[in-house]
A and B are shown apart, each in its own frame.
Chain A
Amino acid sequence: MGILAEFSGPESLKAVAAELRQAGYARFEAYSPYPVHGLYEATGRRRTLLPWLVMLGGTAGCLAAILLQWWTNAVDYPYIISGKPPFSLPANVPIAFELLILFGALAAFGGVMVLCNLPEPYHPLFGCAEFRRASADAFFLSIDAADPLFDLKGTADLLRALGAASAEPYSRPQTERRVPGYVKATIALLLAAALAPPAYIAQVRFSRKSSPRLHLVLDMDFQPKYLPQQHSPLFADGRAMRPPVAGTIAAGAAIDDAHLLRGETGGQPAELFPMPVTMELMERGRREYDIFCATCHGLTGDGDGATSQVVVLEREEPKWIRPLSLHLPTVRSQPAGQLYQTIADGVRTMPSYASQIPVEDRWAIILYIRALQRSREGTLNDVPEELRKQLESIHDDATSYDDQN
């Protein structure tokens, strides 16, 4: 309810607004088809808070983005990918910037809607036919009846005196519509229903279950193929896993080197080594011998390794067959290839060491064994100069000890 007056243009509108403000009117509004500068100030109202809202929104967006990225990638499930640290600020800047803009824009849009009180479809002025031209090319001013200075005739006269082309009263249409109850109920129901998926996810996330997880999209997760250890009716032995075909050799291994792989030359056990004999090979042989062979054959090759000592001393097994001493004439006379075949295939109670000792290491061990065997029949002159003195001093210590005791 109030009075609607039409004016000819923005300048007169501004002047009238200023006049009304001077006269003490508070509840009046000026309408124009486009923004008129100075009009809002003429109505005497405060500047809008919108810039602050946008600043708040932007800051919130930036902080939310950084928090999100920090918590998800650096705290909850941290991992390093392509060398970037879990919390990498340079990599987080783009998203922080974008969310700053997004939240700021939402604040601007939401802010202007709220501050303008939009959507507002049922303003009384929409009942006025003339007011329809306000959005096209006409300038209006309305004074609300609730204004303390409002007087139906007096205010209309004042407006006409100030230059209004017309000043007619307007009123609220008779029917008033409220939002129906069932609409409100439906919206409430939908909101409650919308909470269901997050609730389900929360329940699933934080509880233990014995059944497998929800598998909505199967993709190629269940494929018609055999997995390891499964039974297969296709083969007689029922195994889906098949052993390698006879004659299979490891990738990269030499196929035809009988000397290297089987210790044979011309069908007979080889006498010679298939690779150059170096100090390095010897050292390697010593290392490998100490690891694999010394447990049974002893560090010096006498067959008095730890297993024998355990069996003989602790368990007192009378039927225990001691490992061979490597210095026996029967062993000394064996060619290198036969020693190789012993390691690779095993002999009597000694199992095959093929799975533990690679091919070259086997030859290295054999080289060391030859050194051990040689050491039993060697003389001091066989020892290199620099080590002779050491041996002599050890010998002197040992004999002097014996002499004393």
Chain B
Amino acid sequence: MMQHHTTIKIEDDRTHLAASNFPAVAASIAVGMILLIVAGAIGRPAGQGDSYTLLAASYLVSYLFFLSISLGALFFVVLQHLVRAGWSTAVRRLAEILAANLVWWGILFLPILVPVLLGKSDLYAWSIPGAAAADELLRHKGPYLNPAFFAARAVFYFVVWGLSAWFFLKWSTRQDESGDPAVTERLEKTAPAAMILFGLTVTFAAFDWLMSLTPEWFSTIFGLYFFAGSVVAALAAMILFAAALQAGGTARRVITIEHYHDLGKLLLGFVVFWGYMAFSQYMLIWYANIPEETVWYLERQTGPWTWITAGLLFGHLLIPFLGLLSRTVKRSRVLLSFWAVWMLAMHWIDLYWLVMPTFAPDRLPLGIMNWLCLSGVGCLFLAGVLWNARRRSLVPLGDPRLNESLAFENF
């Protein structure tokens, strides 16, 4: 494709947030904590024996929702360095900021981890002392599914993710001042190792935190399935982040409609990829019809859960596919933002569908608990994003490929 001369000068555009957002950060943290405490208060066992379980499950869903956004964003950043992409430079800082939450997100994992270590987890049946003794299959999995190794792995994942996210953000920010191309080369050289570690840690995190909710069940593609959903969510979040910034007056000219178009194309591609992962898993298990595998899908195809499964097929795959096909949609900030919100909602439903049926097989527990957890964790996530966005350019000013990113045009 030919490149046209650009008339966009970065100096004309505001690339930092307008004012100090420390009050916003503090407010987000406060609101988030309050919401979570309220959720915890409602969720204590009071008559209904399983309401604590539902609290734990709701928290897990919300936690993983925002974690997957950060993981998908980290993947985006590492990938752009790995393939030496030029078009994405203008929007890469947004992904770096979204990923930077991984540095401290491990703290929020404690409400899930501590009960496992204490043997009181409502989520992970295998972690209850005595469970393995009673069940031969759990005994077999004992060397892997035991609280100590589980905790050690979780620590490892967060260390890897946190270091990667921090490394890529820190050096990219440093390059803002120096404009040193050696930084780009350094990031490119680190990207392959980061990608390998990312792939392995995300896979096993999905196994540990989602697949082991049903410890008898297993699926080799599960890690990739979770990964696909995470990338969809991250791309949607990036689109919304860019739209929000531009609505607020930042980076109005640096992030062009071409970038939205490309993010839209990637979103479409990963929606299809998610569909491919989901269909592969479903169809193979359906076709072979082996009871030890179908049990997981049967939970999700009986009673009211059938509607959610059908809803995911149409809402997460078919409808957004048709919606995102159009070039016009991808080149409209408003329409693309609509689909971004839609995909985030669908991703949340996907995680809800992954987690909840194990704990509520005959009903859809959708209530105040879910909203409290979602908004509580969400406020904390937002606080992290705002914290990392302050006093930092929202566009990698020193990146040698920024000009290429500003100039490219889609077909």
Contacts and interface: CB of A to CB of B under 8 A. Distances in A.
Q: Do chains A and B touch in the complex (CB under 8 A)?
A: yes
Interface of A: 36-37, 51, 55, 83-84, 90-91, 93
Given A90-B282, A90-B286, 11 more contacts: A36-B2, A37-B1, A51-B327, A55-B325, A83-B289, A84-B287, A90-B283, A90-B287, A91-B283, A91-B287, A93-B279
Judged by DSSP, the binding face of B is helix
Contact of A37 (B2, B287, B289): B2
Rank and list the top 9 A-B pairs by shortest CB-CB distance, nearest first.
Answer: A90-B283, A37-B2, A90-B286, A83-B289, A93-B279, A90-B282, A91-B287, A37-B1, A93-B283
Contacts of A90: 279, 282-283, 286-287
Which of B287, B289, B325, B327 is packed against the most chain A CB atoms within 10 Å? B287
B272 to A, nearest CB: 11
Interface string B70-102: 000000000000000000000000000000000
Interface residues of B, number: 11
Contacts of A36: 2
Interface of B: 1-2, 279, 282-283, 286-287, 289, 325, 327, 409
A272 to B, nearest CB: 51
A91 B279 CA distance: 11
A217 B286 CA distance: 38
A68 to B, nearest CB: 19
A91 B283 CA distance: 7
Contacts of A93: 279, 283
Contacts of A84: 287
14 contacts: A37-B1, A37-B2, A51-B327, A55-B325, A83-B289, A84-B287, A90-B279, A90-B282, A90-B283, A90-B286, A90-B287, A91-B283, A93-B279, A93-B283
Contacts of A83: 289
Nearest to B3: A37
A90 B2 CA distance: 44
Contacts of B409: 37
A201 to B, nearest CB: 33
Nearest to A83: B289
A55 B409 CA distance: 24
Contacts of B283: 90-91, 93
A90 B286 CA distance: 8
B271 to A, nearest CB: 15
A62 to B, nearest CB: 11
A91 B287 CA distance: 8
A402 B270 CA distance: 96
A55 B321 CA distance: 13
Contacts of A37: 1-2, 409
A62 B279 CA distance: 17
A37 B287 CA distance: 49
| Interface-central residue, B1, B286, B409, by most chain A CB under 10 Å | B286
